[in-house]
Amino acid sequence: MSFVPGQPVTAVVQRVEIQKLCQGENLILGFSIGGGIDQDPGQNPFSEDKSDKGIYVTRITPGGPAESAGLKMGDKIMQVNGWDMTMVTHDQARKKLTKKREDVVRLLITRKSLEEAVKHSKGSHPSHLPAQTNARTTKDRVVL
Amino acid sequence: MDNESTYSGYSYKSSHSRTSRKNRERRDRHRLKNRDGSIRGDKSVMIQAPGEPLLDPESTIPDDRDDNWGETTTVVTGTSVDSISNEDLTRISKDLEDSLPPDCRRYISPVLGAILGLISAITPLAFLALPQLLWRDTLDHCGTPCEGLYISLAFKLLILLMSTWALFLRPSRATLPRFFVFRCLLLALVFLFVASYWLFYGVRVLEPRETDYRGIVGYAASLVDALLFIQYLALVLLEVRHLRPAFCLKVIRTADGVSRFYNVGHLSIQRAGVWVLDQYYSDFPVYNPALLNLPKSILTKKMSSFKVYNLEEENTNNSTGQSRAMIAAAARRRDNSHNEYYYEEAEVERRLRKRRARLVVAVEEAFTHIKRHQDDDTPTSSPKHPREVMDPREAAQAIFAPMARAMQKYLRATRQQSYHTMESIINHLQFCITHNMTPKAFLERYLSPGPTLQYLDNNRGRQWTLVSEEAVTASLRQGQVFCLKRLDFALVVKVMPLPFLRLAEEFIDPKSHKFVMKLQSETSV
């Protein structure tokens, strides 16, 4: 999850597709984000490396679209609809997620347990895939 | 007859020592004087025939002399009013000493200084005038250069006189126990100086009747220059040297522990004492002996458990053994007096606050009864209700009545009643009314004890004793301690040096003040 500046970032990511829910005149996704390059990374409770300025999921509304899509608290968002989220300010991240014209966001998220699971599965069975939830999720190694 | 004469005087005084009686009497008299302006204590303490010893059995004082006079009392009441006893003599001389004393020692130094100053001011003029008077015909004529020197001489003399007036012609406010070293040094220097100039003048000018007048004028001008320089030296030694702070003096009053810290420069102990006393009169709150001790009810509880009978004929072993036993027993016994002290203090504090509140309300109300009379009010008010116009004194007396009782109770509660008489309160009220002060401004004098200077009457000098282990003309050093004693308390002064300061420099570029946000915001999407 940490990166060395100048070197490509390697991470195990999961694709999550969330349908925006229409609540009144807002389209909400049902989670909260924290982090950004203009924020203080030391206060992030979910990051392993306290200098990681990426965007993290800090809260999930129970019963919301994000929960049903399989998003978990503590996930780091790497891409939103193709836009990179590893080097953005907090406000830019918010804007990318809350575009009014889009009603679906496709996120690439990473979490520690994914790495472990890949290592585990590599160790035990080379091509074992974990159980799926009802959203489409695939595990990919992404090189950014 | 016997009873009459025994109790008509202060016969209770017989059992106490003379000096404490004298002090108490003076304090009593002072208190009584404050209360109603008349000296009531003096009337009965007279008399003995002047110059005769007290125990003279053949004195001719008539009948109402006490029979056991020789054994118990040393003061006798009699009918003659213009002869004084020994004690009265000492009392009166002490009074004289307290008020401005016609004491020779006090005036020696200023008189000497004045004489020397006068002589040294006249000397240049004498130097100029004597040749003109004595051998005018043989003098060389000197025109313009001399006139230039005359002008410079005149101005320098004028400046010398003005600065002498400004610096040295001030009434001294203290008499020091020993010589003031710098002043003596300077007087000696001036004397030597002027004497040597006169000597030279006498030998080289007057004797051979010198004809070079310009040289004489130059000589007189050089004398005035030298006098100006001596005055500069005097300024530096007497006035400037002690201005730069070098020591910190801690002054504690022994009676109640009030302390202050002062910064002084290099002074001798006696000068430092005078300086401290100057500050004492305006900084320290007035010494109130009534506020000092724990109430008797708390202290005597300790004593009352053990009755000690001290018999005259017991030997020393017994007495020390008994006192040791008593101390041990007292230490073992559980001591609850702190508890009582705590509650008593809380109670006193509460009572005091209540009385203070009553006083403030009474004064505020009293002040609303009165208003400054404006001149343009008269046409409207005079036809209906002619208000009588009062001057400040009458106005003060008029509004004093409603607040008198509250004021008296408050003063009694804070034990200040000996410092404020009814007369002084009315005077202060008059003062406040005249200057348009609010009730709060009027009360500031009574709500907190002011500096001692506020309660002094200025025509009496103050007698202090300087107690020191080193010579009082020695200059201040670290760790010295000296005392300034008065009759019932003392001021202990401790000298501490001020620390040496190392001041370092650090340059901050104004462009280096930059900030970053330190927050973690959370947005719901």
Give the pLDDT confidence of B173-198 residue by residue, as tens digits.
888 888 888 888 999 999 999 999 99
Tell me the mean pLDDT in the region B512-520: 79
Mean pLDDT comparison of B285-299, B303-317, B319-333, highest-scoring range:
B285-299
pLDDT of residue B54: 42
Interchain contact B519–A (C-beta under 8 A):
yes
Among B89, B96, B97, smallest CA distance to B22 is for B89
Give a yes or no: residue A129 inside a domain. no
pLDDT over 70 percentage in chain A: 84
Helix (H, G, I), strand (E, B) or coil at A104: strand
Find the closest chain A residue to B521 by CA distance: A34
**Which of B520, B523, B525 shows the shortest C-beta gap to A44?**
B520
Residue B343, token pair as written in the block: 């509650």
Using 50, 70 and 90 to split pLDDT, how confident is the model at B35? very low
The 3-class SS string of B435-459 reads: CCCCHHHHHHHHHCCCEHHHHCCCC
pLDDT at residue B198, rounded to an integer: 93
The answer on pLDDT for B495 being more than 90 is yes
Band of the pLDDT at A131, cuts 50, 70, 90? very low
What is the spatial distance between Cα B224 and Cα B501, in angstroms, rounded to a whole number? 42
- Rounded to the nearest integer, the mean pLDDT of chain B is 77
pLDDT at position B49 is 42
Per-residue confidence (pLDDT) for residue B245, from 0 to 100: 92
Position A8: which residue type?
A: P
Q: Which of B518, B520, B525 sits opposite A97 (nearest CB)?
A: B525
- Which residue among B520, B524, B525 places its CB closest to the CB of A43? B520
Cα of A6 to nearest chain B Cα, Å: 25
pLDDT at residue B100 is higher than 60: no
B273-297 per-residue burial string, b: 16 or more CB within 10 A, e: under 16? bbbbbeebeeebeebeeeeeeeeee
Give contacts of B515 with chain A, Cβ < 8 Å. none
Going by C-alpha positions, the residue among B491, B475, B469, B472 that lies closest to residue B265 is B475
Domain assignment of residue A2, yes or no = no
Adjacent-strand bridge partners of A32: A59, B524
Residue B76 has pLDDT above 70, yes or no: no
What are the chain A neighbours of B524 within 8 Å (beta carbons)?
28, 31-32, 59, 61
Tell whether B518 lies on the interface with A, counting CB pairs under 8 A.
yes
Do the Cβ atoms of B254 and B490 come closer than 8 Å?
A: yes
Query: Within 10 A of B112 (CB to CB), how many other CB atoms are there?
Result: 14
The pLDDT assigned to B107 comes to 78
Beta-carbon separation of A44 and B519 below 8 A: no
Q: What is the mean pLDDT of residues B338-361?
A: 91
Q: What integer is the mean pLDDT of B381-397?
A: 74
Q: In what order do the strands lie in the sheet with B465-468?
A: B259-264, B247-253, B490-497, B481-485, B465-468
Least confident of A41-45, B373-377, B502-506: B373-377
pLDDT over threshold 50, residue B44 = no
Percent of chain B beyond pLDDT 90?
Answer: 36
Report the pLDDT value the prediction gives residue B15, as an integer from 0 to 100.
43
For residue A38, give the CATH number of its domain.
Answer: 2.30.42.10
Handedness of CA B308, B312, B313, B319 (dihedral sign): positive
Residue A4 lies in a domain: no
Query: Residue A65: CB partners within 8 Å, gap ≥ 6?
Result: A18, A19, A20, A21, A28, A29, A30
Chain A residues within 8 A (CB-CB) of chain B? 28-29, 31-35, 38-40, 43-44, 58-59, 61, 90, 94, 97-98
Structure confidence at residue B40 (pLDDT): 41
- Whether A46 shows a pLDDT value over 50: the answer reads yes
Residue B484: which pLDDT band, with cuts at 50, 70 and 90? Answer: very high
Which of A128-137, B154-163, B491-500 has the least mean pLDDT?
A128-137
Q: Name which of B521, B522, B525 is nearest A98 (Cβ-Cβ).
A: B525
- Which positions in chain B touch A35 (Cβ < 8 Å)? 520
**CB contact (8 A) between residue B520 and residue A98:** no
Give the mean pLDDT of B501-506. Answer: 95
CB-based contact, B17 to chain A, within 8 Å: no
The whole-angstrom separation of Cα B363 and Cα B403 is 6
Give domain status of residue A72, yes or no. yes
For the record, the structure tokens of B345 come out as: 């203090």
Residue A53 included in any domain: yes
ipTM of the complex: 0.72
The alpha helices in B135-211, defined as continuous H runs, are: 144-168, 181-201
Q: Using the beta-carbon criterion (under 8 Å), do B517 and A38 form an inter-chain contact? A: yes
Q: Is residue A141 part of a domain?
A: no
- Pairwise CA distance, residues A56 & A86, whole Å: 10
Helix (H) or strand (E) holding A112: helix A112-124
Residue A90 near residue A39 (C-beta atoms within 8 A):
yes
- Say what the pLDDT of residue B353 is: 94
Out of A31, A59, A90, name the one closest to residue B521 (CB). A90
Q: Find the mean pLDDT for residues B295-323.
A: 57
d(C-alpha B391, C-alpha B437), whole Å = 16
The CA distance from A44 to the nearest CA of chain B, in Å, is 8
In this complex, is the C-beta atom of B522 within 8 Å of any C-beta atom belonging to chain A?
A: yes
Task: Give the helix/strand (H/E) hosting B296.
Answer: helix B296-303
Q: CB-side exposure of B262: number of CA atoms within 13 Å?
A: 22
**Is the predicted pLDDT of residue B72 greater than 60, yes or no?**
no
Smallest Cβ–Cβ distance between B523 and the set A33, A40, A43 belongs to: A33
Q: What is the CA radius of gyration of chain A?
A: 15
Give the pLDDT score at B180.
85
Q: What mean pLDDT is predicted for residues B354-366?
A: 93
Distance from CA of B512 to the nearest CA of A (A): 20
Comparing A128 with B409, the larger pLDDT belongs to: B409
**How many beta-carbon pairs under 8 angstroms link A with B?**
38
Q: For helices B181-201 and B213-234, what crossing angle results, to 10°? A: 180
> Chain B residue closest to A26 (CA)?
B525
- Alpha-carbon span B272 to B251, nearest angstrom: 11
CB A58 within 8 A of CB A29: no
Q: What pLDDT does B5 receive?
A: 41
Mean pLDDT to the nearest integer, A94-108: 91
Among A103, A112, A79, A106, CA closest to A93: A79
pLDDT of residue B69: 46
Does B523 lie at the interface with A, CB-CB under 8 angstroms? yes
In which band, very low, low, confident or very high, does the pLDDT at A43 lie, cut at 50, 70 and 90? confident
Answer whether B515 touches A (CB < 8 Å): no
Instruction: Evaluate whether B247 touches B263 at the Cβ level (below 8 Å).
Output: yes
3-state SS of chain A: helix, strand, coil percent to 5? 20, 30, 50
Nearest to B485 by CA among B276, B298, B313, B293: B276
pLDDT at A144: 63
- Range among B370-384, B421-435, B453-467 rated most confident: B421-435
State residue B294's pLDDT score. 61
Task: Answer whether residue A136 is part of any domain.
Answer: no
The residue that leads in pLDDT, B43 or B129, is B129
- In whole angstroms, how large is the CA radius of gyration of chain B? 35
Is pLDDT larger for residue B323 or for residue B117? B117
Give the distance from residue A32's alpha carbon to the nearest chain B alpha carbon, in angstroms.
4
State the pLDDT at residue B279: 93
**The two three-digit tokens of residue B215, written as one number:** 């040289």
Inspect the interface and report whether the beta carbons of A90 and B517 lie closer than 8 Å.
no
Summarised one tens digit per residue, pLDDT across range B235-252 is 998 889 889 999 999 999
For residue B522, list chain A residues with Cβ-Cβ distance below 8 A.
Answer: 32-34, 58-59
pTM above 0.80, yes or no: no
pLDDT-derived band of residue B454, with 50, 70 and 90 as boundaries?
Answer: confident
Q: Give me the count of residues in chain B.
A: 525
Give me the half-sphere count of Cα atoms (radius 13 Å) on the Cβ side of residue B258.
17
For residue A67, what are the domain limits?
13-119
Q: Is the pLDDT of residue B266 over 90?
A: yes
Averaged confidence pLDDT in chain A? 83
Confidence label for B6 from pLDDT (cuts 50, 70 and 90): very low
Residues of chain B with Cβ-Cβ distance to A39 below 8 Å are: 517, 519-521
DSSP per-residue codes, B193-255 = HHHHHHHHHIIIIITTT---HHHHHHHHHHHHHHHHHHHHHHIIIIIIGGGS--EEEEEEETT
pLDDT at B482: 94
pLDDT of residue A32: 93
Which residues on A lie below 8 Å from B519 (Cβ)? Answer: 39-40
Residue A137 confidence (pLDDT)? 41
Calculate the alpha carbon distances from A121 to A125, A130, A136, B234 in Å: 5, 9, 20, 101
Q: Is the pLDDT confidence value at B501 over 90?
A: yes
Q: Is A52 within the bounds of a domain?
A: yes
Instruction: Look at residue B71 and give its three-state secondary structure.
Output: coil
| 8 Å CB contact of B520 and A59 | no
Q: Where are the alpha helices (DSSP H) in B337-486?
A: 337-368, 378-381, 392-413, 422-434, 439-447
Q: Which of B:253-312 have CB within 8 Å of A?
A: none
Name the strand (E) or helix (H) holding B27. Answer: helix B18-36
Q: For position B369, what pLDDT does the model report? A: 86
Best probe of the A interface among B515, B516, B523, by most A CBs < 10 A, is B523
Which whole number is the average pLDDT over B452-466? 79
Interface residue B521 vs chain A (CB under 8 A): yes
Quote the number of domains for chain A.
Answer: 1
First to last CA, chain A: 12
Q: In 3D, which of A40, A135, A120, A34 has the Cα closest to residue A76?
A: A34
